[in-house]
Amino acid sequence: MLVLLPPSEGKTAPRRGAPVDLAKLSFPELTERREALLDALGALGTGEAALTALGLSATQAGELERNASVRTAPAAAASKVYTGVLFEHLRLAGLPASARRRVLIASGLWGFTRPGDRIPAYRLSISARLPGFPGLASYWRPALQEAIPASGLVLDLRSGGYAAAFAPRDATVLAVRGLTERAGERTVVSHMVKATRGDVARLALEATPVPRTPQAVAEVVAASGRRVELTRGKSGWSLDVIDSAG
């Protein structure tokens, strides 16, 4: 089983340590594309055009200063840098090494990293529009298709933009949604989806034996006391985790 995670917008900037060493990141065949993006971030500057390119507001101008020093800023394991809701629930750093080896984290800047790869904090969403570049999903797609092995069961917890950058081939893909049900009506709540995906990922990664089918993942999640529904569509399998509210 391979677990594909999105990055988090929220990141914890390492306070000390050596800067990123591109040669030591997983998937060295992506180095040239990573270099090009780092150069583009450095050339953006800190003005209004840079905010527009990155899809940021004026209150997020500090992210531009962070990007300007991304090559020299301290780096730490990706499992410690990404700190959004999904990662809070997954608690990636606390998983056994054998479980962490089954995890890949998508990124607009790095393509994919493994949890142990040392990276700095940065801001580059897959939806960013850098001058001289196509959309980042298009930019990454051919390289990721060549670099990323994906067969067997893939638990895909990425959002749409990151999923567009890489579609696993020769794999059984299982997506996860978190739904709230009230008076028979089901709604998707963004915060809950992220939390649910983190919970499901942790349950699946801690399970023994390792789940190898969508049905096995559904059984593991149901055994935790959650209400689940497993369906199969044209694009793959989907696991709905349903919370009854009120």
Asked if omega into 209 is within 30° of 0 (cis), the reply is: yes
* Cβ(191)–Cβ(204) below 8 Å: no
Q: Is 239 helix (H, G, I), strand (E, B) or coil?
A: strand
- Tens-place pLDDT, residues 68-120: 999 999 999 999 999 999 999 999 989 999 999 999 999 999 999 999 999 99
Total residues found in the chain within this entry: 246
* Cβ(3)–Cβ(102) below 8 Å: yes
Distance CA 125, CA 132 (A): 16
Mean pLDDT of the chain: 93
- pLDDT(245) > 70: no
Nearest to 26 by CA among 128, 118, 108, 109: 118
Side-chain half-sphere CA neighbours of 218 within 13 A:
17
* DSSP conformation letters of 54-75: HT--GGGTHHHHHHHTTTTS--
Which residue bears the tokens 């780096």? 75
pTM (predicted TM-score): 0.94
> What local confidence, expressed as pLDDT, does residue 26 receive?
98
Distance CA 232, CA 116 (A): 33
- Supply 9's token pair: 């917008």
* Cβ(118)–Cβ(77) below 8 Å: yes
> What local confidence, expressed as pLDDT, does residue 192 receive?
84
CA distances from 186 to 86, 157, 199, 210, 231 (A): 21, 20, 20, 31, 16
- Tens-place pLDDT, residues 166-183: 999 889 999 999 998 877
Distance CA 146, CA 201 (A): 25
Q: Is 240 helix (H, G, I), strand (E, B) or coil?
A: strand
- Tens-place pLDDT, residues 190-235: 778 999 999 999 999 999 999 999 999 999 999 999 999 999 988 7
- Tens-place pLDDT, residues 126-151: 999 999 999 999 999 999 999 998 88
- pLDDT(246) > 60: no
Distance CA 137, CA 127 (A): 8
* Cβ(3)–Cβ(16) below 8 Å: no
- Tens-place pLDDT, residues 40-62: 998 898 889 999 999 999 989 88
